[in-house]
């Protein structure tokens, strides 16, 4: 269980950065740890938890995704015993008052807004993957969690390498009122070697690949034979064979497409076998254990994939059934998977190091377009390469297709280029309601100025103002030494330019035909001659003229920069930057009878407890629809709320839906067109509603798959998200409407069964 010898913990020799962070935590500081993937950040959290349990203190461990929360729950349960560990993920609640409670960051934020009593006895909160604060869709949750966390609670933030860790710590320190120590580690225990790979070059550097690409283009331009020779597309098979030849297995191969993950695993399994007969027997044993555990004897998918697993190959993505994910992770943990094709979700927190990491491309689809990987994303995934205590070096490869080659698409392999964290703070209707629920209007303005976005804006403005002051000082000093004749006709340089202008006009006047125009040009020439004659030129050597020109050039550069900075500083809004958004959302809430004079009305109280599509669900409730719908209809509707369909998914014909859409569509129309609510706040897509209805009525899961082309894991995720929403609605109506609360509990029980139930 828990042991402390000063230098070792859980059989690991603690590194200096780990000991430094632990010392700060035990001295009652909050700590932010910024370090590369795979160097042992989580060991600091594990030590803190073990220490807290030994001291009789409570700790909350927050994770960015449910899969990581579930993994941590299983780990901690083994280490500390089932009675000391709990988990809350919205759709799962086990032992919620345990000494160590694991939860998603969203749940912790919700707890801070609703259940302050659950914080009694809490000493620390651990924010794993705190760099998610910069995530566009979810970063606000991290900020709100830190803002609303009681100041007496200390925090441990674990982050991938971020260059502005000190800025983040300074912000936390400012709003929490206690010191936050930063522990940074920039080097890795197992260094990484970075390559790009193409069949023409093999594993090489980006510079050499650039030369190969230029040579290829030249050859193709000169020869049809070369075009034919270069036609073969660079394949993952070439890269895996190269890695195997170089003793680079096991390998984690990132592919940013679920379909391609599976296809590539199947393709490789047709070509190569990586396992010995003894290892194949071990794979059979693990597969049989999982089949028996989840009663999957009749599930064809697992039997179809057995061939792949028996060759030491697997794939992992969010569309897999949880039982299949567990099987793959077990095989990987036992070193029975030599090549794993995975989407980027496998890189978040799950600790499965390998010798080599591969990227199928330097770009990824972000839901809108293909874009290059950021340097932070690259290192987050690449950091899995290199097993501590096993490998002297980790290897990272990016597959390069010369037919689609663009050097700017490749991420930097220099960790110094990792992007800074930036705030993504925004106000939801739920946030607005909870602000008015717990605070007076003056306090709300103070809180709105406590976010990281405002802190960064203030820092940016101060930085620009300092630069502006420096430029004004420099330009003033420079102006004092610039010649007083600068710009006048006595200045040799200005005089030379004027003489050139005179000669040019004298040449041009000979070609002017019009009498009036010719006379005007002649007058202009005489005026310029007269001006030159009236002023005596200053005698300056060529060197003096050159120095003067350089000073003037620099002065003009400073002046242009000064004008730009003055415009930026004057337009920057720091304090009150979210007041306008608050006012507009509060006005909508008042018009909809959620809020009146800063006090929550019944609709507002209900919506303050709903954390997704809060306005849509609240309108369903107050229209009496939850009372009208039967339990199976409620379940079919909940999976449609806040559901983002995958590409190609369609809404079934209305006649196939197990409920009447008309009242739902009317509510959505009113929210958008009557009250001006953004369409993103009214997401309702019932493509899975017929399946949820069948499932709620008791349909077998594998029979359900006959009615859908969707992947098993997507169905499970959708159903579990429905359970999460039902739990929120039930909590919101429990006191006022216990009959409906009982009905909703029955709804949850109908979904939360068999393969959909979380097995922890």
3-state SS, 67-98, equals: HHHHHHHHHHHHHHCHHHEEEECCCCEECCCC
8-state DSSP, 674: I
Angle (nearest 5°) at CA 562 between 561 and 567: 100
Alpha carbon distance 482, 248 (integer Å): 65
CB 190 within 8 A of CB 386: yes
**Cβ-proximal residues to 673 (8 Å cutoff; 6+ apart), any chain:** none
What's the pLDDT at 1? Answer: 38
What's the pLDDT at 96? Answer: 86
What's the pLDDT at 350? Answer: 61
- Supply the pTM of this predicted model: 0.85
Tell which phi-psi region holds residue 102, choosing left (phi > 0), alpha (psi between -120 and 50) or beta. beta
- The residues pairing with 399 across neighbouring beta strands, listed in sequence order, are 197
Alpha carbon distance 182, 30 (integer Å): 9
Alpha helices per DSSP H over 298-440: 300-309, 322-333, 375-382, 429-438
Q: Is the pLDDT of residue 254 over 60?
A: yes
What's the pLDDT at 538? Answer: 78
CB 220 within 8 A of CB 227: yes
CA-closest candidate to residue 718, choices 670, 671, 686: 686
CB 694 within 8 A of CB 636: no
What's the pLDDT at 634? Answer: 98
CB 667 within 8 A of CB 619: yes
Tokens describing residue 329: 């992770």
User: What length does the chain have?
Assistant: 760
Q: Is the pLDDT of residue 225 over 80?
A: no
Distance of CA 354 to the CA centre of its chain: 23
Q: Is the pLDDT of residue 609 over 60?
A: yes
CA distances from residue 753 to 111, 116, 326, 699, 716 in whole angstroms, order as listed = 26, 31, 18, 11, 11
CB 644 within 8 A of CB 683: yes
What's the pLDDT at 232? Answer: 59
Q: Beta strand pairing status for 8-9 and 100-104?
A: unpaired
What's the pLDDT at 224? Answer: 59
What's the pLDDT at 220? Answer: 66
Taking residue 390's Cβ as centre, other Cβ atoms within 10 Å add up to 9
What's the pLDDT at 3? Answer: 47
Q: Which domains can be identified in the chain, with CATH numbers?
A: 8-184 (3.40.50.300), 192-417 (3.40.50.300), 478-571 (no CATH), 609-756 (1.10.3380.30)
Lowest-confidence range among 189-203, 397-411, 675-689? 397-411
Model pLDDT for residues 506-544, shown as the tens digit of each residue: 788 778 878 888 788 888 888 777 877 777 777 887 887
What's the pLDDT at 708? Answer: 85
Rounded mean pLDDT of 158-182? 94
3-state secondary structure of 37: coil
Q: Is the pLDDT of residue 67 over 80?
A: no
End-to-end CA gap in the chain? 20
Lowest-confidence range among 162-171, 219-228, 354-363? 219-228
CB 103 within 8 A of CB 131: no
Q: What is the mean pLDDT of the chain?
A: 88
Alpha carbon distance 593, 602 (integer Å): 8
**Which range, 8-12, 120-124, 271-275, 413-417, is most confident?**
271-275
What's the pLDDT at 349? Answer: 54
Alpha carbon distance 702, 697 (integer Å): 14
**Which range, 86-90, 285-289, 403-407, is most confident?**
285-289
Rounded mean pLDDT of 642-669? 91
**Which range, 5-14, 247-256, 530-539, 649-658, is most confident?**
247-256
Instruction: For residue 322, name the pLDDT band (cuts at 50, 70, 90).
Output: confident
Rounded mean pLDDT of 89-100? 87
What's the pLDDT at 673? Answer: 96
Instruction: For residue 2, name the pLDDT band (cuts at 50, 70, 90).
Output: very low
Model pLDDT for residues 370-428, shown as the tens digit of each residue: 889 999 999 989 988 998 888 899 999 999 887 777 888 899 998 888 999 999 999 99
């Amino acid at each position: 269980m828990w042991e402390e010898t000063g230098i070792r913990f859980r059989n690991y020799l603690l590194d200096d950065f780990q000991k430094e962070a632990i010392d700060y935590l035990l001295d009652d500081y909050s700590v932010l740890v910024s370090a590369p993937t795979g160097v042992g950040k989580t060991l600091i959290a594990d030590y803190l938890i073990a220490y807290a349990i030994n001291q009789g203190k409570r700790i909350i461990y927050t994770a960015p995704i449910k899969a990581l929360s579930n993994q941590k729950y299983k780990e901690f349960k083994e280490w500390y015993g089932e009675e000391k560990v709990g988990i809350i993920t919205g759709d799962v609640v086990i032992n919620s008052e345990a000494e160590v409670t694991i939860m998603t960051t969203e749940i912790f934020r919700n707890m801070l807004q609703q259940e302050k009593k659950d914080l009694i006895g809490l000493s620390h909160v651990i924010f794993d993957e705190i760099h998610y604060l910069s995530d566009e869709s979810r970063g606000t949750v991290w900020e709100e969690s830190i803002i609303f966390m009681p100041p007496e609670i200390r925090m441990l933030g674990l982050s991938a390498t971020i260059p502005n860790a000190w800025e983040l710590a300074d912000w936390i320190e400012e709003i929490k009122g206690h010191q936050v120590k930063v522990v940074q580690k920039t080097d890795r225990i197992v260094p990484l070697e970075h390559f790009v790979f193409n069949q023409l070059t093999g594993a090489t550097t980006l510079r050499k690949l650039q030369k190969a690409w230029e040579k290829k283009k030249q050859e193709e331009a000169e020869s049809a034979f070369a075009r034919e020779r270069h036609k073969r597309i660079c394949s993952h098979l070439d890269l895996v064979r190269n890695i195997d030849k170089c003793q680079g297995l096991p390998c984690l191969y990132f592919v940013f497409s679920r379909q391609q993950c599976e296809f590539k695993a199947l393709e490789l399994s047709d070509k190569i076998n990586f396992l010995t007969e003894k290892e194949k027997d071990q794979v059979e044993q693990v597969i049989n254990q999982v089949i028996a555990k989840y009663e999957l004897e009749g599930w064809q998918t697992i039997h179809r994939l057995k061939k792949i697993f028996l060759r030491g190959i697997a794939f992992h993505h969010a569309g897999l059934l949880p039982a299949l994910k567990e099987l793959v992770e077990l095989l990987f943990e036992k070193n029975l998977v030599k090549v794993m094709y995975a989407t980027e979700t496998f890189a978040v927190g799950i600790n499965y190091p390998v010798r080599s990491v591969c990227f199928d491309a330097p770009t990824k689809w972000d839901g809108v377009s293909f874009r290059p990987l950021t340097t932070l994303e690259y290192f987050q995934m690449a950091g899995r390469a290199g097993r501590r205590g096993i490998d002297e070096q980790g290897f990272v490869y990016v597959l390069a297709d010369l037919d689609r080659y663009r050097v700017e698409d490749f991420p930097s392999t220099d960790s110094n280029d990792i992007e800074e964290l930036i705030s993504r703070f925004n106000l939801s209707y739920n946030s607005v309601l909870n602000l008015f629920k717990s605070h007076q209007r003056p306090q709300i303005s103070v809180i709105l100025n406590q976010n990281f976005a405002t802190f960064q804006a203030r820092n940016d403005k101060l930085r620009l103002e300092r630069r502006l002051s420096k430029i004004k000082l420099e330009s003033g000093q420079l102006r004092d030494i610039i010649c007083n004749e600068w710009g006048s006709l006595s200045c040799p340089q200005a005089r030379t330019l004027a003489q050139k202008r005179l000669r040019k006009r004298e040449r041009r006047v000979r070609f002017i035909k019009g009498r009036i125009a010719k006379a005007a040009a002649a007058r202009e020439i005489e005026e310029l001659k007269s001006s030159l004659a009236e002023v005596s030129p200053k005698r300056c050597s060529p060197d003096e003229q050159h120095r003067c020109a350089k000073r003037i050039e620099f002065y003009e550069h400073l002046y242009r920069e000064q004008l730009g900075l003055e415009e930026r500083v004057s337009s920057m809004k720091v304090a009150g930057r979210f007041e306008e958004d608050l006012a507009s959302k509060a006005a909508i809430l008042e018009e909809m009878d959620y809020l009146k004079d800063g006090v929550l009305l019944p609709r507002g109280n209900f919506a303050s407890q709903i954390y997704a599509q809060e306005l849509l669900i609240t309108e369903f409730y107050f229209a009496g629809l939850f009372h009208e719908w039967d339990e199976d209809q409620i379940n079919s509707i909940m999976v449609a709320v806040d559901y983002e369909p995958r590409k190609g998914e369609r809404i079934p014909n209305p006649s196939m839906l197990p409920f009447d859409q008309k009242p739902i569509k009317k509510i959505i129309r009113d929210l958008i067109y009557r009250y001006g609510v953004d369409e993103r706040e009214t997401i309702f897509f019932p493509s899975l509603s017929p399946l949820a209805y069948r499932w709620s009525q008791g349909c077998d899961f594998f029979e359900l798959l006959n009615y859908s082309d969707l992947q098993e894991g997507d169905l499970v995720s959708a159903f579990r998200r429905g359970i999460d929403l039902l739990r929120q609605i039930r909590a919101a109506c429990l006191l006022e409407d216990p009959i409906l609360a009982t009905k909703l509990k029955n709804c949850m029980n109908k979904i939360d069964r068999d393969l959909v139930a979380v097995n922890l």
